[in-house]
C-alpha cells in the first residue's frame, strides 16, 4: 500500500520505518527540512533502538522517502497517517493547531483528487476531536463528505519510548475507530500480519481508549510509589511486596474490578483503605492517591443519589441492598447509604433483597440491621413484584440474576436507574439511566 505519514517525530518516524519494512511504500511529510533531509539520507531523526537501521535499509531499498510537500505526498498515496504533536497548553488542554493545519492541507488536496483516500489520526486526541475538529475541517477544505468521498479513522498508537520498534510489531492491541466499514477495512490491511487483537469500534471510543490506557499507567506508577513509601517507612522491601502483589493475575492484574459501576462497600475494602491511610498519617507520609480513594467512593455514591433524585419521583423501589450480589453483607454497603439519604429526604421506599431477610440474618449482619438500620428493615418486602408495583423509579443496586428480567417488566412511565449494568442498554434520557453508560 502507498502511505503518507505526516509528522516525522517519534511516532511518525517509527511508523514510517516499520511500515516500509513491512513492504509498503511510504512518504514522510514534515515542514522541518532538516528531518526531511535526514530521512532522505537514510538517517533517523529520533533516537530509538533499531529504527536507524530500519530507516537506512528502507531508504536504500527505495521504499521510504520524505518531502515537505503535502500535495506531492497525498497525490502519490492512498492513505495518510497523521502523527503530529498535540502538546499541552498552560491550562492542560491540548494544542490542536498542528492537527487542524494538517487536516486543512490534506483537505485542500483532496478537493481535486478523484481516487478514494483514507485519512488516519494517530496523534493522541481527546474524545470528540474526530467529530468536532478533524472531520469538519477535512470536509470544509475538501468540499467532500467523510465516509462517502473519503475515509476517516482514528488509530491510537501504543508505543513506548525505548521499545517502540518492538511495540510496533508486538502491540497489546490494535484499535481502529471508524465511521464506515470501507475505511476500517482499508486500515486493517496494514496490520494483518500482527499477532495482536484487532478491535474495531467507533471513533470516540478509540479516542478514549488511548487516554484510559495512559492514565491507568500513570495511576499504577503513583500507586506503586505510595505503597513503596509506606513500606520504606516500616522497614519493608517495597519491591518484594509488589512482586508478590503482581503474582496475582486473577484479581490484581486482571479485568476484575475494572468495570464501571457503583461504589465499593463490604467489610473489607473500606475498612482496609481507612486503616492503611491512617497508618500513613501516623508516619507523617503524603499519600495523595491512597488518601483520595474513599473520597472518590463517596463522590460516586453522591452521583448515584443525584441520578435517582433527578427522575422527579418520590416513590422509589430498590432492588438489592447488600453491597454485591450473592451475599447478605450490609456493612458499608453503598446502597444502604443511598437508602438512608433518600429516607432523610422524605422518599417513599420499598426494598427487596432475597439474601437480606431479617429472619435468616445472624451474627454481625443481624446486629447491624437491628441496631443500626431498623428503620430500613421495616421497608423491606418479600417479593420483587412488590418493589416493581410500588416504585415510579426502580433502582437496581446489585447484580442478582433475578434482576435481569426487570427491564422487560417496567411499566409505562417508570424509570430504571441501573447502578450495576443489569441491562446492556445505554442511558436513554428518561426511561433508563445507567450510572456510567
Catalytic residues: 268
Phi, psi for 153 (deg, rounded to 5):
-140, 155
> How many whole angstroms from its chain centre is CA 305?
24
Residues of the chain by 3-state class (helix, strand, coil), percent to 5: 45, 15, 40
Per-residue HEC secondary structure of 20-80 comes to HHCCCEEEEECCCHHHHHHHHCCCCCCCCCCHHHHHHHHHHCCCEEEECCHHHHHHHCCEE
Kindly state the cell numbers that stand for 18: 516499520
Could you give the strand order of the β-sheet that contains 174-178, starting from the edge strand earlier in sequence? 64-67, 25-29, 2-6, 79-82, 118-121, 151-154, 174-178, 198-201
Cα–Cα nearest to 351, from 326, 384, 324: 384
Residue matched to cell numbers 486473577: 250
Residue matched to cell numbers 489520526: 121
What CA dihedral angle connects 368, 374, 378 and 384, to 10 degrees? -30
3-class DSSP state for residue 118?
strand
Give the Å distances, CA to CA, from 112 to 1, 143, 150, 339, 348.
21, 9, 12, 63, 66
Please state, in angstroms and rounded to a whole number, the distance separating the CA atoms of residues 57 and 21: 8
- The torsion region of residue 393 among left (phi > 0), alpha (psi -120 to 50) and beta comes to beta
Please state, in angstroms and rounded to a whole number, the distance separating the CA atoms of residues 423 and 421: 5
Residue matched to cell numbers 479485568: 255
Cα–Cα nearest to 107, from 119, 97, 98: 119
Per-residue HEC secondary structure of 289-339 comes to HHHHHHHHHHHHHHHHHHHHHHCCCCEEEEECCCCCCCCCCCCCCHHHHHH
Amino acid at each position: 500500500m502507498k502511505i503518507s505519514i505526516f509528522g516525522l517525530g517519534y511516532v511518525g518516524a517509527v511508523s514510517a520505518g516499520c511500515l516500509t519494512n513491512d513492504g509498503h511504500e511510504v512518504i514522510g511529510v514534515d515542514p522541518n527540512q532538516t528531518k526531511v533531509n535526514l530521512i532522505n539520507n537514510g538517517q533517523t531523526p529520533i533516537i530509538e533502538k533499531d529504527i536507524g537501521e530500519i530507516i537506512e535499509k528502507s531508504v536504500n531499498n527505495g521504499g521510504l522517502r520524505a518531502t515537505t510537500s503535502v500535495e506531492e505526498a497525498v497525490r502519490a498515496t492512498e492513505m495518510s497517517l497523521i502523527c503530529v504533536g498535540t502538546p499541552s497548553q498552560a491550562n492542560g488542554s491540548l494544542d490542536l493547531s498542528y492537527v487542524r493545519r494538517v487536516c486543512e492541507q490534506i483537505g485542500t488536496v483532496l478537493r481535486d483528487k478523484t481516487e478514494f483516500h483514507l485519512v488516519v489520526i494517530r496523534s493522541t486526541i481527546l474524545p470528540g476531536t474526530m467529530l468536532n475538529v478533524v472531520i469538519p475541517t477535512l470536509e470544509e477544505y475538501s468540499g467532500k463528505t467523510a465516509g462517502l468521498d473519503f475515509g476517516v479513522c482514528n488509530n491510537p498508537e501504543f508505543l513506548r519510548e525505548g521499545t517502540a520498534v518492538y511495540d510496533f510489531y508486538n502491540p497489546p492491541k490494535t484499535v481502529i475507530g471508524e465511521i464506515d466499514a470501507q475505511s476500517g477495512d482499508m486500515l486493517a490491511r496494514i496490520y494483518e500480519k500482527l499477532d495482536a487483537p484487532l478491535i474495531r469500534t467507533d471513533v470516540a471510543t478509540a479516542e478514549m481508549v488511548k487516554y484510559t490506557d495512559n492514565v491507568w499507567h500513570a495511576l499504577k506508577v503513583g500507586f506503586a510509589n505510595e505503597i513503596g513509601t509506606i513500606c520504606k517507612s516500616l522497614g519493608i522491601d517495597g519491591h518484594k511486596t509488589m512482586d508478590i502483589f503482581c503474582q496475582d493475575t486473577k484479581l490484581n492484574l486482571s479485568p476484575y474490578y475494572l468495570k464501571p459501576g457503583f461504589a465499593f462497600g463490604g467489610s473489607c475494602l473500606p475498612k482496609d483503605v481507612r486503616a492503611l491511610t491512617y497508618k500513613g498519617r501516623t508516619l507523617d507520609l503524603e499519600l495523595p492517591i491512597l488518601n483520595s480513594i474513599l473520597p472518590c467512593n463517596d463522590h460516586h455514591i453522591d452521583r448515584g443519589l443525584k441520578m435517582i433524585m433527578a427522575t422527579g419521583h418520590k416513590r422509589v423501589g430498590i432492588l438489592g441492598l447488600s453491597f454485591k450480589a450473592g451475599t447478605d453483607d450490609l456493612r458499608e454497603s453503598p446502597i444502604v447509604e443511598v437508602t438512608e439519604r433518600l429516607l432523610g429526604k422524605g422518599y417513599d421506599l420499598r426494598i427487596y433483597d432475597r439474601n437480606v431477610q431479617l429472619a435468616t440474618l445472624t451474627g454481625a449482619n443481624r446486629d447491624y440491621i437491628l441496631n443500626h438500620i431498623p428503620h430500613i428493615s421495616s421497608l423491606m418486602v418479600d417479593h420483587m413484584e412488590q418493589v416493581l408495583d410500588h416504585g415510579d423509579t426502580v433502582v437496581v443496586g446489585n447484580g442478582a440474576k433475578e434482576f435481569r428480567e426487570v427491564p422487560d417488566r417496567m411499566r409505562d412511565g417508570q424509570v430504571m436507574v441501573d447502578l450495576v449494568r443489569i441491562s446492556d442498554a445505554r442511558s436513554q434520557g428518561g426511561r433508563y439511566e445507567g450510572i456510567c453508560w
